[in-house]
Amino acid sequence: MKKFDPSREIQYLKQFGEFGGVNPAITDSSTFTFLGAKTMVDTFEGEAEGCFLYSRHWNPMNKYLADALAAMEGTEAGWVTGSGMAAITCTILEICNSGDHIISSITTYGGTYAFLMNYLPKFNIDVTLVDITDLEAVKAAIRPNTKIIYTETLTNPLLQVSDIPALAKISNANNIKLVVDNTFSPMMVAPYSLGAHVVVYSMTKFINGKNDCVAGAICADADFINSIIDVNTGTAMLLGPVIDPLRSSSILKNLHTLHIRMKQHSFNAAFLAKKFNEVGMKTSYPGLPAHPGHDILTKMMNPKFGYGGIIAIDVGTAEIAANFMEAMQSKGVGYLAVSLGYFKTLFSNSGSSTSSEVPIETQKEMGLTPGLVRYSVGLDNDIEDTWTRIEESLRETGIIK
């Protein structure tokens, strides 16, 4: 039996336009015609197959993209949203009710942290933060009302590796849903095949790869996807985080090059991580054998796509980080900008940007230092030249001699 290969699953999709176009046709209608009144009634009641009702529920182009993502993840179904946060929040609110409890990795995207800790309390949903790599701490945090264990495959920005099979075993033993954000590691890791129940994405990042849109995705079994888009009770249907079909079309085209891009992102990041190590920088990259999660990720991953395009280094202080990043930008290394997965290298000081929603004391608790610089390494063809410019910036700002 062949190992699950997300790129192969996408390659063999048969999706084409109604008039034979090699790209699926974009349907930009908000509402759809029914040829009979009974069919409309049946559709509202969820008893009609293959009918489109209203684009907040389903749009043909959005379904093409959702089906492709489900193929990539190995899930029965998928649904696409207007942002990654929409995918995360709809998933959590679909599973949890007032009085429920969530266990989450303490190290997580700042927007997710803010939703968990600042927004959910208004619904009387409690959250316990744990070191997700400490499986005994995860077990100890379980309560009778725990409904979700939430984590990221590679945590943002510290790049801890979540042991998805082990977390799935804990979840299944306690009737808890394991929700995994796989934004940093599409194709590299297939969380659903490893036991996760729901996989969420910010497609803004690697999946789209152009930083020209904001979008998200939810991949799960058909029952869960049907539940979130139920016209009467579905969280995604009723909160309405719909994505525009024109944008879905462009993301679907970009999805077909994701396997090529992930290989180059990973190749370049591995090269830079090795160079940072050689000049004595404190470097976090799961492709380095010394990384605490290296062996776990190696067991979980699809090796042909490498260890990912994200690196974190520590330069000491936020002031040094600012000077260093400005020097890199002036030398053409890339851009001082948030987000990731772009074809150019992006870098930011996480504590003061993408993790700024996390209180300073919590940043210290999770090990996020003031001088941490996160790189999203681009698709540079001459990564050796890129390193030369980075090394010049390190020396110019006095980080290395």
Instruction: Write the pLDDT tens digit of every residue in 177-212.
Output: 999 999 999 999 999 999 999 999 999 999 999 999
The type of residue at 100 is D
| CA 24/CA 146 separation, integer angstroms | 42
Give buried/exposed letters for 367-392 (b at 16+ CB in 10 A, else e).
ebbbbbbbbbbbbbeebeebbebbbe
Fold designation for 6-255: Aspartate Aminotransferase; domain 2 (3.40.640)
- 151, 104 Cβ separation under 8 angstroms: yes
Burial class (CB in 10 A: 0-12, 13-18, 19+), 232: exposed
- 386, 272 Cβ separation under 8 angstroms: yes
Parallel, antiparallel or unpaired: strands 334-336 and 345-349: parallel
> How far, in Å, are 1, 351, 381, 384 from residue 344 at the CA level?
38, 22, 11, 15
Where in the chain do CATH 3.40.640.10 domains reside? 6-255
| CA 64/CA 51 separation, integer angstroms | 14
Beta bridge partners of 128: 103
Check residue 1 and give its pLDDT. 47
- 278, 271 Cβ separation under 8 angstroms: no
- What separation, in Å, do the N-terminal and C-terminal C-alpha atoms of the chain show? 53
| CA 191/CA 167 separation, integer angstroms | 11
Side by side, which strands form the sheet with 146-152?
77-81, 216-220, 198-202, 177-181, 146-152, 101-105, 126-130
Where in the chain do CATH 3.90.1150.10 domains reside? 259-396
Check residue 27 and give its pLDDT. 92
> How far, in Å, are 62, 108, 119, 221, 383 from residue 356 at the CA level?
33, 12, 16, 34, 30
Q: What is the pLDDT along the chain (401 residues), one digit of tens a residue?
A: 467 899 999 999 989 888 889 999 999 999 999 989 998 888 887 777 778 889 998 999 999 999 999 999 999 999 999 999 999 999 999 999 999 999 999 999 999 999 999 999 999 999 999 999 999 999 999 999 999 999 999 999 999 999 999 999 999 999 999 999 999 999 999 999 999 999 999 999 999 999 999 999 999 999 999 999 998 999 999 999 999 999 999 999 999 999 999 999 999 999 999 999 999 999 999 999 999 999 999 999 999 999 999 999 999 999 999 999 999 999 999 999 999 999 999 999 987 766 778 888 888 888 889 999 999 999 999 999 999 999 999 999 999 98
Which CATH class for the 259-396 domain?
Answer: alpha beta
Q: Is the pTM of this model over 0.85?
A: yes
pLDDT tens by residue, 30-85: 999 998 999 888 888 777 777 888 999 899 999 999 999 999 999 999 999 999 99
Q: 136 in helix, strand or coil? A: helix
